[in-house]
Amino acid sequence: MKYGERQIAEILSGFSGAKLPTGTGCSLSEKRREILGDPRYEKYLGEIAKKTEEYREKPIEALKFSEFRLFSETGDRETYQKSYFDRRGRLAALALAVWLWRKPEDASALEDAIWAVCDEYTWALPAHIWGEFDEENRPTVDLFAAETASALAEICALNEELLSPAVTKRAREAVEKRVIERFLSEEFGWERLKNNWVAVCGGAVGIAALYLCKPEKAAKAVCKLQTAMESYISGFPDDGAGTEGVSYWAYGFTFFAAYAEMLCRLSRGKIDLFSDTRVKNIALFQQKAYFPFGGAVKFADCSEGDSSRWWGLCSYLKTRYREAEFLPKPLLPCFDCDPCYRWAGIFRDLVWSAEPEPRRIDNKSYIFPSAEWLIASGERCSGLAVKGGNNGESHNHNDVGQVEFYLNGDEVLIDYGGGVYDRDYFGEGRYERFECGSQGHSVPIIGGKYQKAGREFAAKNVEISERSFRADISPAYGSENLGSLVRTVNFDTKGELELSDRIEFKSFPESVCERFVSFCEPTAEGGKILLKGKNGTAEMTFDGEAFYAEITSVKAPKPQDGRRIYIIDLKAKKPEMSVRFEMKIC
C-alpha cells in the first residue's frame, strides 16, 4: 500500500519508543550485555578492541586533492579510497567501542573521527561525481555520502550521552544539509534504478531522516522513498534472483532491510515492506546462492568472502520468514571483512545477531525460471551453477551459458566474479577485461569471437529441471554464421557433471574452441585432463580424437588474490558445419 505524506506523518507522530534497532527480541541494553558476556563474540570483540587501540594511536589521515583527482586523470580509484575508507573504519571501530565499553578515551577519539568526517569537502567518491568537480555537484548524494549520513545519524543517537553536544550538533547539521535537504529538494538518477544503488542510497537516506527529522519532514522523505523502494523491488525478477551478483544482493538488501525494519518499528507495523511477497522471494535468494559446503555462486560482479558479513541480516530475516536459513559458514563476523566498513551492516551484525541454527547438508537444487539459473548441490562437496539470461544485466558479464562447478569443495570450473574497479572497468573497455568478457568464462569461442554485450544477446529456448539445463546460447554471439548453439548440462547427486554443446553453422566455421576456466591445476593426457585442487583431483574427459587441448594460465585479476587461473581450450581439429562436443567431470 502506498501512503500519502500526511498519512505517513500521522503514523510516525504517534511513536514514542526508541529509534535504535533493538536486536532480535530484546532491548538494546540487554543485547549489549549479551554481547559482552557471550564467548561467541570474544574473537570479534578482540578485533574491535585492537582496531580501536590502533586508531587512538594513529593520526587521522588527510584526504588529499592530489589523490582525489587521480580518478579523472588516470582512472585510479584505489589510492583515494584507501584513505577515505580508513576513516570509515576508524568511525565504526570507535563507535562500537564507545557503545560497548563506555571509555572516555574512546569517546574523545570518536569525537575527533566524527569531526574529521564533517570536515571532508565531499562525502561522495570521485568515481561517483559526474562532470566537472565544482561547488554545484560537490554535495551529490551517492552510495557513500548516503552511507556516511546514516552512520553519523545512528552513531550520534547510539552514543549521545558520551559525546560532546557540539560534535553531535555539527554531525546532524552536516547530515541534514549534505544529504537530507539535498534529497528532498531534487531528483537523483538512482531513485529509479533497479539495482543495489537505489536500495543503499534510498535506505541510508531514509535511516538518516527517521533519526534526525520531525514527523512532518521525515514523512516527506519516506513518501518520496516509496517510489525508490518500489523501483528496487521491481528490479528483481519474479523468482527473486540477484542477477547482479550475490555480493550486490547482500549490499543492497542490508540497507533495504535496515531501513524497512526501522520504518516498520516506528510505524508500529503499519508500513511494513517485508509483508510484500516479492520482498520475501528476494530475501530468500541469498541462502539459495550458497552451497552447503560454503562456496557461493559468483555470477556478475560478485566478491568472495561475503558470507562472514551477513550474520545479523540472516538473523533478522529468520524473525520475518519461517523459510529463512543461516548461511553455511562462517557466520561469525570479522571487523575487516568489509573493506568499506559500512556501519549499517557492522552494527547489525551485533544487535541483530542470534544463535545460528545448523543448516542441513542435503542435495538441494533451486530453479530460477525468470533469471534462467539452476543452482544444485550433490555429494562429495559438489555444486553446480549454470545460467542463461542475457548480456545486459546490472553489473553484467558476457556469460550466457556460463557454468560454475565445485567438486571436493574445489572450484573446478570457476566464475571469478568482479575485478579491480577503476574508470575503465565501467567504461568502454569493460569487456576486454578477462573477468568481464566471455573469454574469462566457461563458454565456447566461435570463430575466434567472444560473446557480445547487450540485452539482445541472450539465451533462448531455455529449459531447466531439477538437475539439468538446456538452452540455445547462439544469440549471445551475434554471429550471422551461427545457426544454433545448444548447451546441455546434467548434474547428478553423486557429484558428476556432464556437458554437451551441439553447434550448427550456416557455412564452414574458421574455428571452434570449447573454453573452460579453473583454479585447479590441469594436466592433459589425450582425451583426459586431471584437475588438481586443494582437496582432491577431478577428472575431465572428452573426445580426444575430435578435440585437442591447449592449456595456459593468467594471474588472477585482483593483485591481492595471488592465485593463477588456468584456461583449458579444447579445440576442434576439423571444424565442420555441425559440431558435437561432449565433456564429463567426475
Give me the CATH number covering residue 505: 2.70.98.70
Do 236 and 281 meet the contact criterion of CB atoms below 8 Å apart?
Answer: yes
Q: Are residues 229 and 329 in the same domain?
A: yes
Q: Which domain holds residue 505?
A: 365-585
Q: How far apart are the C-alpha atoms of 97 and 102, rounded to whole Å?
A: 7
**Distances, alpha carbon 332 to alpha carbons 39, 69, 282, 307, 314, in Å:** 11, 38, 23, 9, 11
The closest alpha carbon to 95, from 63, 64, 55, belongs to 55
Q: Are residues 279 and 385 in the same domain?
A: no
Q: Are residues 225 and 253 in the same domain?
A: yes
In a domain, 72, yes or no: yes
Query: CA 45, 311, 386, 373: dihedral to nearest 10 degrees?
Result: -150
Q: Which of 351, 386, 420 is the last residue of a domain?
A: 351
For 190-205, letters b (16+ CB in 10 Å) and e give bbebebbbbbbbbbbb
The residue count of the chain comes to 586
Residue pointed to by grid coordinates 536486536: 23
Q: Which of 351, 373, 403 is the last residue of a domain?
A: 351
Q: Are residues 326 and 410 in the same domain?
A: no
Q: Is 484 exposed, middle or buried (0-12, 13-18, 19+ CB in 10 A)?
A: middle
Say which CATH number the domain at 97 has: 1.50.10.100
In a domain, 360, yes or no: no
**Residue 185 CB neighbour total at 10 angstroms:** 7
Do 316 and 324 meet the contact criterion of CB atoms below 8 Å apart?
Answer: no
Q: Are residues 329 and 386 in the same domain?
A: no
In a domain, 220, yes or no: yes
Do 290 and 310 meet the contact criterion of CB atoms below 8 Å apart?
Answer: no
Do 346 and 335 meet the contact criterion of CB atoms below 8 Å apart?
Answer: yes
In a domain, 169, yes or no: yes
Q: How far apart are the C-alpha atoms of 340 and 335, rounded to whole Å?
A: 11
pLDDT in tens, the chain (586 residues): 788 999 999 999 876 566 888 777 788 999 999 999 999 899 999 999 999 999 999 999 999 999 999 998 999 999 999 999 999 999 999 999 999 999 999 999 999 999 999 999 999 999 998 655 565 556 689 999 999 999 999 999 999 999 999 999 999 999 999 999 999 999 999 999 999 999 999 999 999 999 999 999 999 999 999 999 999 999 999 999 999 999 999 999 999 999 999 999 999 999 999 999 999 999 999 999 999 888 889 999 998 655 556 789 999 999 999 999 988 876 677 888 899 999 999 999 999 998 887 766 678 899 999 999 999 999 999 999 999 999 999 999 999 999 999 999 999 999 999 999 998 999 999 999 999 999 999 999 999 999 999 999 999 999 999 999 999 999 999 999 999 999 999 999 999 999 999 999 999 999 999 999 999 999 999 999 999 999 999 999 999 999 999 999 999 999 888 999 999 999 999 999 999 999 999 9
Q: Which of 293, 320, 351 is the last residue of a domain?
A: 351
Q: Are residues 182 and 78 in the same domain?
A: yes
Q: Are residues 393 and 462 in the same domain?
A: yes
Put the strands of the sheet holding 497-505 in their side by side order. Answer: 460-465, 468-472, 482-491, 497-505, 578-585, 537-542, 528-532, 521-525
> Helix 343-351 vs helix 78-101: angle between axes, to the nearest 10 degrees?
30
Q: What is the DSSP letter of 126?
A: G
Q: Are residues 346 and 454 in the same domain?
A: no
In a domain, 150, yes or no: yes
Bridge partners (DSSP) listed for residue 512: 446
Question: Based on the structure, what is the number of domains in the chain?
Answer: 2
Instruction: Kindly calculate the radius of gyration of the chain based on its CA atoms and give it in whole angstroms.
Output: 25
Q: Are residues 428 and 506 in the same domain?
A: yes
Q: Are residues 422 and 553 in the same domain?
A: yes
* C-alpha cell recorded at residue 476: 549471445
Q: Are residues 81 and 225 in the same domain?
A: yes
In a domain, 442, yes or no: yes
**Distances, alpha carbon 347 to alpha carbons 97, 325, 353, 369, 449, in Å:** 11, 20, 10, 35, 47
In a domain, 223, yes or no: yes
Angle at 387 between CA 463 and CA 432, to 5 degrees: 140
Angle at 44 between CA 42 and CA 46, to 5 degrees: 70
- What predicted TM-score, i.e. pTM, was given to this entire model? 0.95
Q: Are residues 342 and 414 in the same domain?
A: no
Residue pointed to by grid coordinates 503514523: 11
Put the strands of the sheet holding 373-378 in their side by side order. Answer: 365-368, 373-378, 382-387, 403-407, 410-413
Do 231 and 224 meet the contact criterion of CB atoms below 8 Å apart?
Answer: no
Question: How many Å from the N-terminal Cα to the C-terminal Cα in the chain?
Answer: 51
